[in-house]
Amino acid sequence: MADATLPDIPLPPSIRSRYVDGINGLNMHVLEAGFETKGRPCLLLLHGFPELAFSWRKVMPALAEAGYHVIAPDQRGYGRTTGWDADYDGDLASFRLPNLVRDALGLVHAFGYRSVDAVIGHDFGSSVAAWCALIRPDVFRSVVMMSAPFGGVPQLPFNTADAPAKPATEDPVHRELAALPRPRKHYQWYYSTREANRDMHHAPQGVHDFMRAYYHHKSADWKANAPYPLQSWSAGELAKLPTYYIMDLAEDMAATVAKEMPSAAEIAANKWLPDSELAFYAAEYQRNGFQGGLQWYRCGTSGAFTGELQTWSGRTIDVPSAFISGKQDWGTYQRPGVFEAMQTKACTNMIGCHLVDGAGHWVQQEQPAEVSRLLLAFLRGARDG
């Protein structure tokens, strides 16, 4: 049921907001386009951090107009979806990737589909989309990953019966980052700390201005975003990344992005995220905090669930796949070698890899017309191929 106390969502008229209950323990809030007629092929759109289903508002109408039923949920931990645990000390396991795939599968089934033409994910949603296609290729018939490349499945030790596997060693990169002349830390490990939610939820500048600076810093509007491949996963190379990825050791994320707050004139000139739309994001995060999304990072950095992912060791993504990112998005290269591994090893049927000029990390919001065009071209190619 909709909560009458929540403000309306500033959506185009062709998109509606609704709730679907009983999805893997969640009451899921969903945005939907192309619902007017039955029997359409379905697309599932999965957002990232710190975003919402709302992040797809600019591409959903074009996809629906092309004949698709388009479904975009607030994922577990986000927005108006309820039934998840917001406590740092709560149930972390419910946020692990195979359970997020289960959420997606449950939603597809709830709408009466045995399969969808594509699952399309952005940022952390890209990881969920990749695992959807890997675990259930019969349901998720093609996949588009956006702004976060997929480097493959954690591998099990192989051929070790007579030459025992080397024991796992601690990654030295965090100590090395902290020991640099300008001491640094990796944002995903910062996001995994108990303090991260409080730092952002109670940012000195307020949630609205925190999110304005964060979105600006990672967009093509921040002119220093000129990414290129890094040579290795080492402190010296990682330190070349902007501070939203490799932070100064003593600073939190609110202080990090505050230094890059755009001017009043820049904000007024921003067409891809006017303040009226940013206000919706800010209100949702003000209400919920950020911990639900941060739990996803903790699942990765803790290493606690890597063993489960090794169940799929040796598996590749074999359905038609594509990658779309902003040309000004460091996310493509933030883990050295992953962009290349996706194209050469992790995906065996990649039919498109596009870097969109004039977009940073928020590619489907910064350049929605080009993203819509690329998505529809991919869907045609996947169908005809």
283-331 pLDDT, tens digit per residue, is: 999 999 999 999 999 999 999 999 999 999 999 999 999 999 999 999 9
Residue 71 Ramachandran class (φ > 0 left, ψ -120 to 50 alpha, else beta):
beta
Q: Which of 10, 55, 59, 61 is nearest to 35 (CA)?
A: 61
Task: Kindly state whether residues 327 and 287 are assigned to the same domain.
Answer: no
- Give the CATH number of the domain where residue 358 resides: 3.40.50.1820
Among residues 265, 293, 321, the one where a domain terminates is: 293
56 within domain boundaries:
yes
Residues 6+ apart with CB under 8 A from 9: 17, 31, 54, 280
Q: Answer whether 76's CB lies under 8 Å from 91's CB.
A: no
pLDDT on residue 166? 81
Same domain, 240 and 337: no
Residue 214 has pLDDT above 90, yes or no: yes
Is 70:43 a contact under the CB 8 Å cutoff?
yes
* Domain ranges, residue 103: 15-153+305-384
Q: What is the pLDDT of residues 35-93, one digit of tens each?
A: 999 999 999 999 999 999 999 999 999 999 999 999 999 999 999 999 999 999 999 99
Is the model's pLDDT at 127 over the cut of 70? yes
What pLDDT is stored for residue 5 in this prediction? 83
Q: Are 51 and 122 in contact (CB under 8 A)?
A: yes
Task: Mention every residue, 6+ apart, whose C-beta is less than 8 A from residue 156.
Answer: 310, 313, 314
Taking a C-beta distance cutoff of 8 angstroms, is the pair 359, 327 a contact? yes
Query: Rounded to whole angstroms, how far apart are CA atoms 257 and 55?
Result: 20
- Of 271, 293, 315, the position where a domain reaches its end is 293
Q: Are 250 and 243 in contact (CB under 8 A)?
A: no
298 belongs to a structural domain? no
For 371, other C-beta atoms within 10 Å of its C-beta total: 26
> Which band of pLDDT confidence, cut at 50, 70 and 90, is reported for residue 164?
confident
3 within domain boundaries: no
Residue 179 predicted with pLDDT over 90 = yes
Same domain, 20 and 148: yes
Note whether 21 and 135 are same-domain residues. Answer: yes
Whether 94 and 68 share a structural domain: yes
Q: Is residue 283 part of a domain?
A: yes
Q: Could you say which of 293, 318, 347 is where a domain stops?
A: 293
Query: Rounded to whole angstroms, what are the CA distances from 301 to 10, 164, 187, 188, 193?
Result: 35, 26, 11, 7, 10
Do 49 and 133 reside in the same domain of the chain? yes
> In the chain, what is the straight-line distance between the N-terminal and C-terminal CA atoms, in Å?
41
Q: Are residues 232 and 258 in the same domain?
A: yes
Judge whether 147 lies within some domain.
yes
384 — pLDDT class (breaks 50, 70, 90): confident
- C-alpha closest to that of 94 among 284, 291, 299, 297: 299
Alpha-carbon gap, residue 77 to 74, rounded angstroms: 8
Report if residue 4 sits inside a domain: no
The answer to whether residues 361 and 289 belong to one domain is no
From 62, 67, 2, 73, select the one nearest 32 (Cα to Cα).
73
Q: Is the pTM of this model over 0.95?
A: yes
Q: What is the identity of the amino acid at 126?
A: S
Residues 256 and 214 grouped into a single domain: yes
Q: Is residue 299 part of a domain?
A: no
Residues 359 and 248 placed together within one structural domain of the fold: no
Regarding whether 112 and 43 lie in a shared domain, the answer is yes
Q: Are 293 and 300 in contact (CB under 8 A)?
A: no
Q: Mark residue 357 as left, alpha or beta (left: phi above 0; alpha: psi -120 to 50; beta: remaining).
A: beta
Number of domains in the chain: 2
pLDDT tens across 219-265, in order? Answer: 999 999 999 999 999 999 999 999 999 999 999 999 999 999 999 99
289 and 220, same structural domain? yes
